[in-house]
Chain A
Amino acid sequence: MTGKRGTSDGGHSHCPYCALQCGIDLIAVPPVDDRGAAAPEDAPAVRVAGREDFPVNEGALCGKGASAAQLLSARLRLTSPLVRDRRTAALRPATWDEALDRVARELSARDPRAVAVFGGGSLTNEKAYQLGRFARTILKTPNIDYNGRFCMSSAAAAQNRAFGMDRGLPFPVRDIRAARAILLVGANPAETMPPIMRHFAAAREAGAVLITVDPRRTRTADQADRHLQPVPGTDLALALGLLHLAVAEGLVDEQYVARRTSGFDDARRIATGYWPERVERLTGVPVAAMHQTVHTLADAARAVRSGAPGGAMILSARGTEQHSKGTDTVNAWINLALALGLPGRPGCGYGALTGQGNGQGGREHGQKSDQLPGYRRLDDPAAREHVAAIWGVDPDELPGPGPSAAELLARCGGGAQAGPDAIDALLVMGSNLLVSAPGAVQTEERLRSLGFLVVCDLVLSETAEIADVVLPAAQWAEETGTMTNLEGRVLLRPAAIAPHPGVRTDLEIMAQLAGRLGGKLSADPAEVFAELGRASAGGVADYSAISHERLARGEELYWPCGEDSPGGTPRLFEDCFPTPDGRARFVPVDFRVSAEEPDDQYPYRLTTGRVLSQYQSGAQTRRVDSLNQAAPEAFVELHPDLARDLGVEEGATLSVISRRGTASAPARLSRAIRPDTVFMPFHWPGAGRANSLTNPALDPTSKMPEFKTCAVRLEKTSGEAPCEG
Chain B
Amino acid sequence: MRRIVVAGYGMAGHHLVAGLIRAGRATPAGDFELTVLGAEAGAPYNRVLLPEVLAGRIDQHRIDLPEADDPRVTVRAGVRATGIDRERRLVTGDDGSVLRYDALVLATGANPVLPPLGGILDEHGLKPGVHTLRTLADLERIQDQLAAAPRGLGSEKRKPRAVVVGGGLLGVQCARGLTLRGADVVLIHQGSHLLDHRLDAEAAAILSRTARGLGIEVHVGCRARAVLHERDGRLGGVQLADGFQLDADLVLLACGSAPATALAARAGLAVDQGVLVDERLASVTDPCIHAIGDCARVRGGARGAQGLAAPALEQAEVLAERLLGRPALYQGSSTVARLTATGVDVAILAAAPSLVAESRPDHVARTVRLTDPIAGTHRAVTVHGGRVVSSVLIGDVSAAARLTRLVDRPGPLPENPIDLLFDTAERN
Contact = CB atoms under 8 A, between A and B. Distances in A.
B400 A226 contact: no
B409 A286 contact: no
A266 B413 CA distance: 40
A598 B398 contact: no
A280 B404 contact: yes
Contacts of B18: 590
Interface stretch (A130-138, A378-386, A502-510, A640-648): A640-648
A641 B412 contact: yes
Contact of A272 (B15, B64, B336, B426): B64
Nearest to B63: A272
A183 to B, nearest CB: 15
A225 B428 contact: yes
A248 B57 contact: yes
Interface stretch (B42-50, B75-83, B88-96, B279-287): B42-50
B325 interface: no
Interface string B54-94: 00011100111111000000000000000000000000000
B426 A590 contact: no
B309 A641 contact: no
A590 B408 CA distance: 22
B46 A641 contact: no
B412 A642 contact: yes
Interface in B400-426: 400-402, 404-405, 408-409, 411-415, 423-426
Interface in B304-327: 309-310, 313
Contacts of B145: none
Contact of A270 (B57, B66, B412, B413): B66
Given A272-B45, A278-B309, A284-B401, A248 B52 contact: yes
Contacts of A641: 412-415
B426 A273 contact: no
A333 to B, nearest CB: 20
A642 B310 CA distance: 28
Nearest to B336: A281
A285 interface: yes
B405 A231 contact: yes
B331 to A, nearest CB: 11
A211 B174 CA distance: 34
A228, A247, A268, A277, most chain B CB atoms within 10 A: A277
Nearest to B66: A269
A217 interface: yes
Given A231-B405, A281-B336, A217 B412 contact: no
A286 B398 contact: yes
Interface string A221-254: 0000111110100000000000000011110000
Interface string B28-51: 000000000000000001101100
A229 B425 contact: yes
B427 interface: yes
B357 to A, nearest CB: 14
B400 A272 contact: no
Contacts of A268: 62
A585 interface: no
Interface in A266-292: 266, 268-270, 272-273, 275-278, 280-281, 283-289
Nearest to B386: A645
Nearest to B338: A277
A594 B102 CA distance: 31
A286 B405 contact: no
Contacts of B22: 590, 592
A639 B413 CA distance: 10
Interface in A347-383: none
A578 interface: no
A588 interface: yes
A592 B23 CA distance: 10
A287 B397 contact: yes
Nearest to B334: A281
B111 interface: no
Interface in B143-164: none
B412 A644 contact: yes
Interface in B368-414: 386, 397-398, 400-402, 404-405, 408-409, 411-414
A288 B413 CA distance: 23
Nearest to B46: A272
Taking residues whose C-beta sits less than 8 angstroms from the other chain, chain B's interface range is: 35 or more
Nearest to A250: B59
Nearest to B14: A273
Contacts of A14: none
Contact of B58 (A247, A287, A288): A247
Given A229-B425, A268-B62, A590-B22, A676 B411 contact: yes
Contacts of A272: 45-46, 49, 62-66
A249 B55 CA distance: 12
B340 interface: yes
Contacts of A228: 426
A675 interface: yes
A286 B400 contact: yes
Contacts of A675: 411-412
A674 interface: yes
Contacts of A217: 427
A269 B65 CA distance: 5
B48 A275 contact: yes
A57 to B, nearest CB: 29
Contact of B426 (A249, A277, A286): A286
Nearest to A671: B424
Contacts of B15: 273
Contacts of B63: 272
B413 A280 contact: no
A269 B336 CA distance: 24
B409 A284 contact: no
A573 to B, nearest CB: 26
Contacts of B57: 248-249
Given A272-B45, A275-B46, A280 B412 contact: no
A485 B401 CA distance: 39
A227 B426 contact: yes
A284 B401 CA distance: 5
Nearest to A598: B409
Nearest to A285: B401
Nearest to B313: A278
Contacts of A286: 397-398, 400-401, 423, 425-426
A280 B400 contact: yes
A247 B412 contact: no
Contacts of B413: 641, 645
Contact of A248 (B62, B427, B428): B62
B66 A676 contact: no
A270 B63 CA distance: 10
A676 B409 CA distance: 10
Contacts of A598: 409
Given A227-B428, A272-B64, A641-B412, 18 more contacts: A225-B428, A226-B427, A248-B52, A268-B62, A270-B66, A272-B62, A272-B63, A273-B66, A276-B340, A277-B336, A278-B48, A278-B313, A281-B408, A285-B401, A286-B426, A288-B397, A288-B398, A639-B412
Interface of A: 217, 225-229, 231, 247-250, 266, 268-270, 272-273, 275-278, 280-281, 283-289, 588, 590, 592, 598, 639, 641-642, 644-645, 671, 674-676
29 contacts: A227-B427, A227-B428, A228-B426, A229-B425, A231-B405, A248-B57, A266-B66, A272-B49, A277-B340, A278-B310, A280-B404, A281-B408, A284-B402, A284-B425, A285-B401, A286-B400, A286-B401, A286-B425, A287-B400, A288-B398, A289-B426, A592-B22, A639-B412, A641-B412, A641-B413, A645-B412, A675-B412, A676-B409, A676-B411
Chain A to chain B: the 7 pairs with minimum beta-carbon distance, closest first: A641-B412, A286-B401, A642-B412, A248-B58, A675-B412, A269-B66, A676-B411
